[in-house]
Amino acid sequence: MMPKERILQLRDELNQHNYRYYVLSQPEISDMEYDRLMHELIALEKEHPDLADPASPSQRVGSDTDNTFTQVKHTYPMLSLDNTYSEDEVRDFDERTRKTLYLDKVEYICELKYDGVSISLQYENGRLVRAVTRGDGEKGDDVTPNAKTIRSIPLLLKPGNHPDTFEIRGEIFLPHKGFEAMNAERAETGEPIFANPRNAASGTLKTKNSALVARRPLDCYLYYLPGLEKHFSTHFESIQAAKEWGFKIPPYIKKCSNLDEVFAFIAFWEKERDGLPFDIDGIVIKVNAYRQQQLLGFTAKSPRWAIAYKFKAREAITTLLSVDYQVGRTGAVTPVANLEPVLLAGTRVKRASLHNADQIALLDIHIGDKVTIEKGGEIIPKITGVDLSARSADLKPVRFIEKCPECGTALVRSQGEAKHFCPNETDCPPQIKGRLEHFVSRKAMDIGCAEATIEQLYDHGLLKNAADFYNLTAEQLVKLERFARKSAENLVNSIELSKQVPFDRVLYAIGIRYVGETVAKKLARHFLSMEALRKASVDDLIQVGEIGEVIAQSVIGYFANERNMELINRLVQAGLQMQMMTVETNISSTLHGKNFVISGVFRNHSREDIQQLIASHGGKNQSSVNSNTQYVVAGDGMGPAKREKAAKLGIPVISEDDFMQMISS
């Protein structure tokens, strides 16, 4: 098959798989097979740049270039909707609408009001050509490279009767599952977490690095086609046609012939919205017939043919009874409010987060205050306000504690940190138990040891740090309450099996601050062994993708601690994996005896991919350029110091293409 034919075939296959997976939720192939097809397409397009196509599925991986947003004027203004929290105002809207149209009743379309970021997509000849944010309603930011990374937005439409040029609008949002995973990863790397999915979606869409956007699980529902009154008679007809063209149209739509049906739709989703995998904040009510929409027209700010009914805020008022202070495995101290139990969003709430000392000071909160608690995008309710008018003179203000509630050590708060920390890492019980629980967790060492078991082993003096797991015997365990011979042997066997856990998970398990699962993988793949990582300098560490000064200093500080090194040495003696192991034999010995330094950002491979390719072809990776280096593989943004040193030592600096040619030959 000729390259052009294969490229076109791959594009068609990948477009179909994208549609089935992201729009229909009916995948036909595995992720591995999808990735194989995508890699083949990218390679072919690179070999034949004359066949490039901006609508190719390969464009969804994004670019590492810094995209500057330009302002684009909307063909049709993106007006906001009139909002109401009152059913009476919805009745007034209906009455005005019927009066203007001289009708006894009007057919409405009810849709969910998605809590995301509005987007306008423009298509020409079935291809996505531009994506623009709402902006000020008259013009918005061109975010086309970012929108192309969102898999539910079609780059190329199915063949059909769609107009040559048209615009479709909708909402980009972040589903709950993706939001929680993204925030967990940010917390692990020391980055500030997003307050809610809407902020996360908005912040992501305005990120200037589309490769970063591609790694975040944004989704998009489309629900409005402006300017197509000549093609369709109703709004409902237009979005059903858009669904046939390949757009992801939300299924939560209902035609309503009267207000009773509208209010039934509102009542249903106000009750059931917690079961949705994304956030909504109300219901949109639209006149269905395009001819009627034209007769109703617009005000300066909003259409007269639509209104948004907003759900009331999920908040409740209760009494603050006391404040507890919880100590985590990193020593972070979190204040938690104990409340008079109250029903909120279908659950009984008796505790709420106060976050940190700054939040307590901002609220000026007193024990006994009447407080407002809110449950929004966050999982844990938070206190958002205090009713000062209900406060009596004898109530005492909350003062953040000065000493650890568990071990009595004076708390510290570093510059730039929002939280206070207990510095007593080695002897503070909740920190020790927290680290032990983290060590045995499924994504770390995967040891079958429950939290209650760790508590019991700690209380009996059998566990003080992670290395103590590898000294436990069944004979010791059967003497404890709730341990039978079988359960004791199961735990000992699980501990023994953990010795086969790969190095990157061991690195995650030891609990270096800011080194979460993702960072641990990057460090393990870059340095390949605990010993090499221990010897790394700050400069060496920040050469690893997405490793900044904060993480680098944390790693250096961990290995500088004598007790931590004692732990590592004991884990080595226990037989844990302290270097990267490959199950397969090397692909070749092409690079045997050659040392490589990787620097910069690459088009077709991550730095970790290139490092693995070097190792699998018999070469070795180095973190810095020296007289033992044979090649420097350079991408965009290579550090000038490395380039200068390579030139001084006469070391060849080769490109990604040069390297791939080297191993392919």
Q: Which two tokens stand for residue 217?
A: 């699980």
Which CATH number does the domain 315-390 belong to among 3.30.360.10, 3.40.50.300, 2.40.50.140, 2.60.40.1180? 2.40.50.140
Question: Given pLDDT bands bounded at 50, 70 and 90, which one contains residue 489?
Answer: very high
Q: Which two tokens stand for residue 71?
A: 């302002």
Q: Which value, to the nearest 10 degrees, does the dihedral of the CA atoms of residues 273, 276, 278, 281 take?
A: -10
pLDDT digits (tens, 9 = 90+) for 13-69: 888 877 776 566 566 776 567 767 887 888 888 888 888 887 787 776 555 444 567
DSSP state of 518: H
In the chain, what percentage of residues exceed pLDDT 90?
A: 51
379 pLDDT above the threshold of 70: no
Architecture of domain 3-61: Orthogonal Bundle (1.10)
pLDDT of residue 31: 58
The SS3 call for residue 100 is: helix
pLDDT of residue 584: 44
DSSP state of 409: P
Distance CA 121, CA 138 (A): 15
Could you tell me which of 301, 262, 250, 303 has the C-alpha nearest to residue 114? 250
* Cα 6 from chain centroid (whole Å): 34
pLDDT of residue 190: 67
Distance CA 419, CA 353 (A): 13
Q: Could you tell me if 406 and 430 are in contact, meaning their C-beta atoms sit under 8 angstroms apart?
A: yes
Distance CA 28, CA 16 (A): 10
Distance CA 252, CA 269 (A): 10
Question: Given pLDDT bands bounded at 50, 70 and 90, which one contains residue 590?
Answer: confident
Instruction: Give the neighbor-by-neighbor strand order of the sheet with 595-599.
Output: 620-622, 595-599, 631-634, 653-654
Q: Could you tell me if 316 and 344 are in contact, meaning their C-beta atoms sit under 8 angstroms apart?
A: yes
Instruction: Name the residue with tokens 């203007």.
Output: 100
In the chain, which residues fall in CATH 3.30.470.30?
Answer: 73-310
Distance CA 305, CA 309 (A): 13
Q: Which value, to the nearest 10 degrees, does the dihedral of the CA atoms of residues 276, 277, 282, 286 take?
A: -90
Distance CA 39, CA 469 (A): 43
What CATH fold (topology level) applies to the domain 429-500?
DNA polymerase; domain 1 (1.10.150)
Q: Could you tell me if 73 and 138 are in contact, meaning their C-beta atoms sit under 8 angstroms apart?
A: yes
Residue-wise burial string across 50-87, b where 16 or more C-beta atoms lie within 10 A, e elsewhere: eeeeebbbbbbbbbeeebebeebebeebbbebeebeee
604 pLDDT above the threshold of 90: no
In the chain, which residues fall in CATH 3.40.50.10190?
Answer: 586-665
pLDDT digits (tens, 9 = 90+) for 232-250: 999 999 999 999 999 999 9
pLDDT of residue 582: 53
Distance CA 519, CA 526 (A): 11
Instruction: Name the residue with tokens 């730039």.
Output: 416
Among candidate residues 46, 113, 301, 620, the one labeled active-site is 113
Q: Could you tell me if 654 and 602 are in contact, meaning their C-beta atoms sit under 8 angstroms apart?
A: no
| Number of neighbouring beta carbons within 10 Å of residue 273 | 18
In the chain, which residues fall in CATH 1.10.287.610?
Answer: 3-61
CATH number for region 586-665 = 3.40.50.10190
Distance CA 213, CA 201 (A): 10
178-194 average pLDDT score: 79
Task: Measure Cα distances from 143 to 48, 105, 119, 134, 575 in Å.
Answer: 27, 41, 9, 11, 51
Element (DSSP H or E) covering residue 507: helix 503-509
pLDDT digits (tens, 9 = 90+) for 521-571: 889 988 999 999 999 999 889 888 668 888 999 999 999 999 999 999 999
Q: Could you tell me if 421 and 554 are in contact, meaning their C-beta atoms sit under 8 angstroms apart?
A: no
Could you tell me which of 532, 525, 485 has the C-alpha nearest to residue 508? 525
CATH number for region 73-310 = 3.30.470.30
pLDDT of residue 346: 57
| Number of neighbouring beta carbons within 10 Å of residue 547 | 21
582 compared with 19, residue with greater pLDDT: 19
Q: Which two tokens stand for residue 222?
A: 């489309």
- Phi-psi sector, 412: left (phi>0), alpha (psi -120 to 50), beta: beta
Q: Which two tokens stand for residue 10?
A: 């791959």
- Per the prediction, the chain carries an average pLDDT of 87
pLDDT digits (tens, 9 = 90+) for 215-231: 889 999 999 999 998 89
Could you tell me which of 328, 561, 325, 565 has the C-alpha nearest to residue 429? 328
Question: Given pLDDT bands bounded at 50, 70 and 90, which one contains residue 377?
Answer: very low
Strand-strand pairing, 595-599 and 420-421: unpaired
Sign of CA dihedral 488, 496, 507, 517: negative
pLDDT of residue 278: 92
Q: Could you tell me if 629 and 657 are in contact, meaning their C-beta atoms sit under 8 angstroms apart?
A: no
Task: Measure Cα distances from 535 to 178, 482, 503, 556 in Å.
Answer: 36, 44, 16, 9
pLDDT digits (tens, 9 = 90+) for 77-119: 888 888 888 899 999 999 999 999 999 999 999 999 998 999 9
Strand-strand pairing, 420-421 and 382-386: unpaired
Angle at 522 between CA 516 and CA 526, to 5 degrees: 140
Q: What is the pTM of this model?
A: 0.51
Question: Given pLDDT bands bounded at 50, 70 and 90, which one contains residue 137?
Answer: confident
289 compared with 16, residue with greater pLDDT: 289
Identify the bridge partners of residue 353 per DSSP, sorted by sequence position.
Answer: 336, 382
Q: Is 113 considered catalytic here?
A: yes
DSSP state of 403: B
In the chain, which residues fall in CATH 1.10.150.20?
Answer: 429-500
